[in-house]
Structure 1
Amino acid sequence: MSRKKVAISVGDLNGIGIQLALENHDIISQEIEAVYCIDRNMLEQAAHKLNLTIPSNFQTVEDLEGYFEIEPGVVRKESGAYAYASFVRAVALARNKKVDAITTLPIHKKAWELAGVAYKGHTDALRDFFDAEAIMMLGSPQMYVALFTEHIPLREVAGSINEKALTRFLIDFYQTAKPSTQVGVLGLNPHAGDDGVLGDEERIIQKAIENAHREIGTKIFSAPLVPDVAFTPRVRANYTHYIAMYHDQGLAPLKALYFDEGINVSLNLPILRTSVDHGTAFDIAYKGVKISSLSYLNAVKYIVDHTIR
């Protein structure tokens, strides 16, 4: 069976992404054929600054505009523009069936903003590119968490929980994540609302769960779980997948448990996209520091083990 071909967008070149790509190329090449969305000139500059050798079979792309001088650890519009161009090229390769999937290395959101990029991150852009309701799921084989709301202010979360949108989210999640065991759905309020004493959003969540069950024909989702006990060992023994109502509700426990090995997966798209679940680490970029590669290697392994439908 032939290896899958994967486009890798290199992220912000002022950060640690290109070090991860160079140091782990031989490892991932045993599983996939990697195409790195970086041009040769920028690659050679980065490798020189890192004092790393470029592997002979390190495939790059041509005509990726935006050459700039790498400044380790500095937020710059030039590095943001290049990171976005790298990502767009990776998506184009996947859209045109030149590769089987894409893996994205970390960007800096402020650098994207300085470069005039209209999106807050990869997932926002993918929704627009494909006119699809992409779902952000993060985690590791031990535990995955999908986020109903993502990068919005906490004060807006409760108002964003409505029956129709959550029903659609649950159905899409089931159809694309393909969980084999029951999925834990978190309530929003302390004590999951205590029967309305501490809030009534759980009634909306429960109704959405019932709607989804009727549509998909199986009872795969739990009743709203009390958030502060949902990730205790006793409860976690029942679930490998969770649905969180907001960003920190799901990601704080996930990162406490599996920070180094977690990945980001974009579900409900016509392409398969995975990403590392960490940032650019500007504080250690180009300083000769050993960087954990678990997240990057797991992001690639997820592609090896999964298909889009």
Structure 2
Amino acid sequence: MGCPAGIGPEIICRLFDREQGALTRNCIVVGDIHVLEQAAACLGLNLPIVSWIPGQALVTGTLPVRQVQTVRSEPVRWGQPDANTGRIMGQAVEMAVAMVTSGAGRAIVTCPISKKSLQQAGYPYPGHTEMLARLTSTQRVRMMMAGPRLKVVLVTIHVPLAQVSALLTQEEVEDCIAMTLAALQQDFALSAPRIAVAGLNPHSSEDGLFGDEEQRIIEPAVRAFSSDQVSGPWPPDTIFYKAAAGGFDAVVAMYHDQGLIPFKMLHFEDGVNVTLGLPLVRTSVDHGTAYDIAGCNRADPSSLMAALAAARTISANRQQEDRT
């Protein structure tokens, strides 16, 4: 459900109200039923929201909710997260992981959370991804942003720009490329994926004129792979255009905004966040909690629809690979 005070409950209710059918079939919402009822009432939706437990049959036309341990006893204040909303968020993630690992679910689709209220509730994680990695005992994970025209995977994520160069190593870049290749083959069913690796500096350093990370780190990492599959380092100001035009299946970017700015220009409404490296399928919306519009009847569920569709596709591709 994501943060109860954000737009997560709203876009979930909109999704189930609009898309009763193939997209929401066999979907369970993990969260607090009272918050979802509040969101539906706020939106003026006549949406049957029902409690669900594992093993219980699903009823078409309803929004089934697996209730977390913490129950919101008073109406949530839209746009105002607190420790209580943080506990609901944390428990929802824990319960979703337990459901998938036990076989009661096939994938996790997450709505946005508040990192601050998650930590106020006593959870030591900076976000969803780190929490999922810990709960599944996963050592290395990567963020892929996936859309119909562009896929981007990040070597470094939420760090100050001044620290990026020091965090780049040949091993890190190679690991990111390898995880991107595996995801394109396994999750997106591409038999011969083409990956472009972006440089760090303007013009990809122009032969060392604007820095040497390309020569010291990125080029050796690219050479570790087949030239038919991986190429670079490419100038960052042109490579995303080439990839979006169909020249590549994904771009490996060196830092957060290098990859996310072009991606969100193209896929702000239909982009999906896919976590690579986990033993389970996890997709997410590519936007935040949007506290400024929470409860205002303005939130768009397009990214959630795309994340759910992507989770179904990736799950089906992994099952097909397991059978072959």
The alignment's TM-score, normalised by the length of structure 2, stands at: 0.85
Equivalent residue number for residue 51 of structure 1: 44
Q: How many pairs are equivalent?
A: 295
- The CA deviation at 1:24 is 1.1
Equivalent residue number for residue 306 of structure 1: 314
> 2:305 pairs with 288, 297, 305, which one?
297
Moved more, 194-203 or 66-75: 66-75
Structure-2 change in CA distance of 1:186 and 1:234 (3 Å): closer
Structure 1 stretches of at least 4 aligned residues deviating more than 4 Å after TM superposition: none
> 1:30 pairs with 11, 22, 41, which one?
22
Give the distance between the partners of 1:174 and 1:28, measured in 2 at CA: 35
- The CA deviation at 1:285 is 1.1
Moved more, 22-31 or 250-259: 22-31
Give the distance between the partners of 1:235 and 1:67, measured in 2 at CA: 44
Equivalent residue number for residue 222 of structure 1: 231
> 2:200 pairs with 179, 185, 188, which one?
188
Is the Cα–Cα contact under 8 Å of residues 68 and 79 in structure 1 kept in the other structure?
no
Deviations 1:272-304 (A, max 9, x none): 000000111111111222x32221111111122
Counterpart amino acid of residue 120 in structure 1: P
Q: Which secondary structure state, in structure 2, belongs to the residue aligned with residue 123 of structure 1?
A: helix
Matches within 5 A, 1:102-113: 102-113=108-119
Identity of aligned residues (%): 33
Counterpart amino acid of residue 61 in structure 1: R
Structure-2 change in CA distance of 1:232 and 1:279 (3 Å): same
Counterpart amino acid of residue 93 in structure 1: M
Is the Cα–Cα contact under 8 Å of residues 114 and 289 in structure 2 kept in the other structure?
yes
Structure 2: tracts of 5 or more residues without a match: 49-60
Matches within 5 A, 1:36-115: 36-55=29-48, 57-69=62-74, 70-115=76-121
Aligned: 1:207 with 2:207: no
Equivalent residue number for residue 54 of structure 2: none
Deviations 1:218-264 (A, max 9, x none): 63111101011222358743123111000000001111122111110
The alignment's TM-score, normalised by the length of structure 1, stands at: 0.89
Structure-2 change in CA distance of 1:83 and 1:198 (3 Å): same
Q: CA RMSD in A?
A: 2.0
Aligned: 1:247 with 2:256: yes
Q: Which secondary structure state, in structure 1, belongs to the residue aligned with residue 300 of structure 2?
A: coil
- The CA deviation at 1:28 is 5.7
Counterpart amino acid of residue 181 in structure 1: P
- The CA deviation at 1:68 is 4.6
